[in-house]
Amino acid sequence: MEAKNKLRMTKQRQVILEELRMVKTHPTADDMYQMLRKRMPKISLGTVYRNLEILSESGIIQKLDVGGTQKRFDGDTTIHSHVRCVACGRVGDIDVKPNCNLEAEAQKMTDYEIIRHRLEFAGLCPLCQQKRKATA
């Protein structure tokens, strides 16, 4: 729990990090598990969860808390926003850097001490737009 332990670079951890950085899909833990089994058939789901947790605590990857029930992970730790497809759940990146100083703005209106913010969009991904046209 504490960040005092030294991390070891195990095969599993390495592969998890590689795979996550290789995709731009913001996979869930289980998505990752499915991907990883192809390269490392004996890896366990528990190990995947543990490592994604550890890596995100260390700031090496990012844990996303976008809508939906499952957490998602992002190998890209630069500041950017996300779009979530309301139909299929897919999550994409958006490179919006809200110029307005939202946090200062918000700070004026609350007695919370603002630390950071999160901006997320919801919409329809290209695939689901097509599906909708087909149905209509």
Partner DNA sequence: TTTGGTGCAAAGGCTTTGCAGAAAG
Partner DNA sequence: CTTTCTGCAAAGCCTTTGCACCAAA
Q: Is-contact 123 83, C-beta < 8 A?
A: yes
Query: Scanning residues 65 to 104, which ones bind its own copies (CB under 8 A)?
Result: 65-68, 81, 83, 85-86, 92, 94-96, 98-100, 102-103
Q: Are 51 and 13 in contact (CB under 8 A)?
A: yes
The DSSP output letter for 28 is B
Q: Which stretch binds DNA (CB under 7 A): 51-59, 74-82, 113-121, 124-132?
A: 51-59
- For residue 111, give every residue at least 6 positions away whose Cβ sits within 8 Å of its Cβ, in sequence order, or none: none
User: Which range, of 69-77, 92-100, 110-118, 128-136, touches DNA by CB under 7 A?
Assistant: 69-77
Span of 66-74, 94-102, 104-112, 116-124 interacting with DNA by CB under 7 A: 66-74
> One-letter amino acid identity for 98?
P
Residues 126 and 83: beta-carbon distance below 8 Å: no
30 binds DNA (CB under 7 A): yes
**Distance of closest approach, residue 93 Cβ to its own copies, in angstroms:** 8
- As a whole number of Å, the end-to-end CA separation of the chain is 51
Sites of contact with DNA (CB under 7 A): 5-13, 28-30, 40, 42-47, 49-51, 53-54, 69-71
